[in-house]
Amino acid sequence: MRNTIAGTLAVTLVCGPLLAQNVPAPAPTPAAPLIQQVVPPPPPVIPLPVLSAAQATQVATLLADSGFAQGLRHDGTAAPLPGDNAALVGAVLDYARAVHSGRLDTSDFQEDWGLRPAPYDPLPGFADAVKRDRIAAWLRSLPPPYAGYDGLQKGLATYRDIEAKGGWTKLPAGPDMGLGASGPRVAALRKRLAVEDPDVIATGDKFDKELQEAVVRAQKRYGLNPSGIVSTGTLGALNVPAADRVRQIMANMERWRWLPQELPAKRIQVNIAAAVLTVFEGDAPIASMKAVTGRPGNETPMLQSRIHSIVLNPPWNVPTSIAAKELWPKGEAYLKRNNYKIIGTGANRRLQQQAGPTSALGRYKFDFANPYAVYLHDTPVQAGFSSFSRLSSHGCVRLEKPGPLAQLLLRNDPAWQPDAIDAAVATGKTQRVPLQEQDQVAVYLLYWTAFASANGTMNFRADPYGWDGTLAAKVEKRSAITAAAVAAR
């Protein structure tokens, strides 16, 4: 809070030269002292709680497997817990921070991992739990309070068990397999599918109708075209090792820890990896649509923000890197034909594609503050939405149905009902429509490559950016570092 001045400075009035000469000037009234900024006292220092012998035993038992169960390490061998009180309490607090708000240190985050967990101090809660002898209940309350996280934790146990039993054998390459095929590769396929799907008969070498249905189920679990034919893409998904699936689940559990403990009931979520947008109201999904997200090398960042306005008929201010690599080399005739305007001269010139039916941003752009200059937008090219792999943008998120989304976000604004929106779009003129404060909606760009369906079946998506392996390795490394630090206390 800025300092303020209390009172006023006294002002001496001079009534004329005679008075000024014969009457001594009054002593100046001292200025009122500045009000000092009140600094709140620091919070009381909470001493480390002293555990009873029974509590120490309970904590050691609970921590022995917790980090493994919560995906904080891949190896099932836990470091031995210290025996003295301070070190044991330190181990509890370290675990609490990791499972509540993430294992990573600030330095572990990549630039495009724009989600950051809120700071969390577990000591007050733990001290209270020790005082009330509620340690087990407190530990259970620490993980993210979401069904999505719970589903991953159950899936983690399932895939750890699969890994412990030897995983699955890699399927050999060969021609596509479909209905009517037979032979050793079909027999291997049956055995492989049966590991994840209990409805598959593991023996036999015939590709019958039941096996075709099992292949379709697997393709749906992996986000592939459910053709019932085992081609290169399906073969690649089936051949991902079980250990990698475990690490994939671990990485997604860590990302859940970066989210706030309570998500806004009204929000938009984009799953970058699956290229799908979902609208939530009252914490329930009410609409979804396909999206196109960033290709590897032009990754769509993870972030959270708020959509504050919609631009109708937006021009596209082409980023310098895109202009240099993809547009300037095509020549001015191409630029003119595609409605690009050259702004500036010499080294300062830049490109802007004018609003219109061929604009890369289409008719709608949804703006939200972020340091990556990304946004949601329309596109004149609809063919990309028919693909099962929809990672082909420069980082922004293209939407399959931007018009209905604009109508949904503006539905409470009497000046911007559907007819008014359509009329404004039809003019072709650029117009920014601010959302009213109460209608601004949270937006989350998230990277989910593993999630459980309602019946507990694990679903996986490709890891196009390679973030899963990187993140899982960082989690394991940071767990080892902190375990060593706790042991050294």
- Distance, CA of 488 to CA of 23 (rounded, Å): 80
Count the neighbouring beta carbons within 10 Å of the beta carbon of residue 440: 17
- Read off the tokens for 398: 């293209």
Which among 124, 154, 129, 161 is positioned nearest to 62, based on CA atoms?
129
- Read off the tokens for 400: 């399959």
Q: Is residue 441 within 8 Å of 411, Cβ to Cβ?
A: no
- Distance, CA of 144 to CA of 262 (rounded, Å): 9
Active site residue 377: yes
**Type of residue numbered 65:** D
List phi, psi (to 5°) of 245.
-65, -40
Q: Is residue 301 within 8 Å of 316, Cβ to Cβ?
A: no
Among residues 15, 74, 308, 377, which one is catalytic? 377
Among residues 74, 100, 394, 396, which one is catalytic? 396
Using the CB atoms, write b or e for 79-110: b if 16+ within 10 Å.
eebbeeeeebbbbbbbbbbbbbbbbbeeeebe
- Distance, CA of 271 to CA of 158 (rounded, Å): 24
- Distance, CA of 411 to CA of 36 (rounded, Å): 49
List phi, psi (to 5°) of 178.
-150, -175
- Interhelix angle 53-69/85-101, nearest 10 degrees: 30
- Distance, CA of 392 to CA of 369 (rounded, Å): 23
Radius of gyration of the chain (CA): 30
Which among 44, 43, 81, 38 is positioned nearest to 60, based on CA atoms?
81
Active site residue 396: yes
- Distance, CA of 308 to CA of 410 (rounded, Å): 11
List phi, psi (to 5°) of 485.
-65, -40
Query: Catalytic residue positions?
Result: 377, 396
